[in-house]
Structure 1
Amino acid sequence: MAFDMDLRQLRYFLGIAETGSISAASQRLRVAQPALSQQLARLEAELGAPLMLRSSRGVTLTAAGEALKTHAERLLREAERAREAVRAEIAGPIRGRVAIGLPTTVAMLLTLPLLRALRAEHPALALHLAESQSGHLQEWLRQGRIDLAILFDQEGAPPGLGLRPLVEEELYLAGTGGEGAEITLAEALRLPVLLPGREHGFRRLLEAHAARAGGAWQVVAEVDALPHLKAGVAAGLAHTVLPWAALGAEIAAGTLRARRIVAPVLRRTAVLACAGERPASRGQQAAEACLLALVRRLVDEGAWRGRLLLA
């Protein structure tokens, strides 16, 4: 037998039980007497037992009615608690968990400021930061393992991702020496470089730039780990190509020097991505707002060199 009892029926039943008559319950609940009688009869039919005995003096509960009254009171209390919990969640501190994916070159710039900002603004929100290549982050988004990610150059991104352009940044040739603030791409292509492996999206971007210029990078070694790659360059083994955001600390310390690549200028675009088909939680919305404000501030301060694309 289908069991379709709902909370409205239980409220009507308790109203009749507590007032002792359908007419009195009608006045308290502001529901017409025929509608109350109909709902009570439907409830009895669904449960397969009489719940009340009617008489000229009102109604009295049967044994089945007494049993239902106890459970109905508990169920309605739980329903009210659930309603109050939802209202408190909406009005109260943002809780839950949000996972954000960051490429290595961006993680060095954003991780600590983002942790500080979210801890200050939403201390009850649990944050998980995942650092990896853009390709891996894109797949994790589709799998639901992360909620947000910063990716690069997503013109051919698969459907289902929501993309918001953030920053267009230029690329620099980093080394321990060299003259001038700029170097042409043709000159850079003649120098020995350390680059990440070919499976990295950044490496594929650099190869595409070189191919359009009719040349190729002189790669002496492939190093995937960014700290080790920069350490090799600082040791004078070769040059490398990176955005300013990944070089700021070493430039400030004087261990590396960066020259802007020109003729043509090499650029890449950072975007904020989410899985567009999944509704965003309050935590995800809060983290996204915090991240966007942080990106805007870092670009305005010059810590993230590039052209801000946020409206």
Structure 2
Amino acid sequence: MNLRRLQYFVKIVDVGSLTQAADVLHVAQPALSQQLATLEGEVRQQLLVRTKSGVVPTEAGKVLYRHAQLILRQCEQARADMSAAAKSISGAVAVGLAPGTAAAGLALPLLRTVRARHPGILLYLNETYGTTLSELVMNGRMDLAVLYGGKTAVHGLSFVPLLREQLYVVGPASMMAPPGEISVPALADMDLYLARPYNVVRKMVNEAFAAIGQAPKVVAEIESASTLTAVIADGLGATILPESMARQVAGSCGGWQSRIVDPIIEAPLALCQSDHLPLSEPAQAIKEILLELVAGLPGNLVVAEERAQKAS
């Protein structure tokens, strides 16, 4: 059967008049009558009965009407599915997630969401430290990175603020735990295991100590979450970490954590991308998902930024 004839037949039954159906379909009435006659010849059944008030379907016509509606709906769905398939996003996207940050908690939600929405995207996740990630983004080897930074301009990069995390000191159970909060001067005598000086969090710690005319007592520089955890578990000293990693390390080694105040130190987490290389369509889709995921986290800056843009 011809789909167009089925469409014409359904419209005639819906309207109940050949004349009115011809007007709705923008088809001349003789041409519409010919299409109906051809359809009746194909099925070898009379489908409509003409009355003074219009046309009504015969019993065979009622059966065909039900089937025709289903067939036409299925054809429309097939067109929609094919169109969606043609528009599906596919390609490879490389995303860096700085370890020891709230970014690490985005990995699984990101993977789940991408698999559900864009199964054609091949996602590559790289967890390494911020400086290396930013360099990879700058030279085009990575599309996006979630890392601490963005407070100062970097040539070749642009940053979208995501959230702020306060810094905590994390110590072993063998060391007397301070109250829930501890001042920077009170940290001066602690043996600290911190990241290298180029690390954003380390820079912030150094600046906080410099502001009171002191320097942190760094006994070793470590950039491995597992090694830091082992150090704390062994009672060798303490470390200073963003809240997300502080909670993880303290919980896995039976240690304690205390928020740093006087002054409060906040590490800004940002989404980093090249300022001169355009994002591919798959990379843009991943960026939108990352912003959506961060918007659901406490202390996020994404919702605040959107409100500010709407207000302006």
Q: If the TM-score is normalised by the length of the shorter chain, which range does it land in?
A: 0.5 to 0.7
In the TM superposition, 1:73-222 aligns within 5 A as: 91-106=86-101, 107-177=103-173, 178-222=177-221
SS of 1:208's equivalent? helix
SS of 1:308's equivalent? coil
Q: Deviations over 1:66-121 (max 9, x none)?
A: xxxxxxxxxxxxxxxxxxxxx96895321001111111113532222222222222
Q: Aligned AA for 1:151?
A: L
**Mapped partners of 2:200, 2:290: distance in 1:** 23
The answer to which of 101-110 and 215-224 deviates more is 101-110
1:308 lines up with 2:300 in the alignment: yes
2:15 maps to which residue? none
Query: Normalised by the size of structure 2, how large is the TM-score?
Result: 0.65
Instruction: Give the deviation of 1:164 after TM superposition.
Output: 0.8
Summarize the Cα distance change of 1:155–1:244 in structure 2 as closer, same or farther, 3 Å threshold: closer
1:304 maps to which residue? none
SS of 1:261's equivalent? strand
Q: Aligned AA for 1:232?
A: V
SS of 2:100's equivalent? helix
**Mapped partners of 2:218, 2:251: distance in 1:** 26
Q: Deviations over 1:223-260 (max 9, x none)?
A: 12122112201221100000111133344456221100
| Native 8 Å contact 1:94 1:122 kept in 2 | yes
Matched positions, count: 218
Calculate the aligned-residue CA RMSD, in Å. Answer: 2.1
**Mapped partners of 1:285, 1:90: distance in 2:** 18
Q: Aligned AA for 1:135?
A: T
Q: Deviations over 1:102-155 (max 9, x none)?
A: 111135322222222222221111001112221111111111001111232323
The answer to which of 287-296 and 253-262 deviates more is 253-262
Query: Normalised by the size of structure 1, how large is the TM-score?
Result: 0.65
**Mapped partners of 1:274, 1:250: distance in 2:** 29
**Mapped partners of 1:113, 1:274: distance in 2:** 20
SS of 1:247's equivalent? helix
Instruction: Give the deviation of 1:207 after TM superposition.
Output: 1.2
Instruction: Give the deviation of 1:196 after TM superposition.
Output: 1.6
**Mapped partners of 1:248, 1:221: distance in 2:** 21
Name stretches of at least 5 consecutive residues in structure 1 with no aligned partner: 1-86, 301-306
1:303 maps to which residue? none
Q: Deviations over 1:132-188 (max 9, x none)?
A: 221111111111001111232323332332221111110000012403110111101
Identity %: 33
Q: Aligned AA for 2:208?
A: H
| Native 8 Å contact 1:174 1:240 kept in 2 | yes
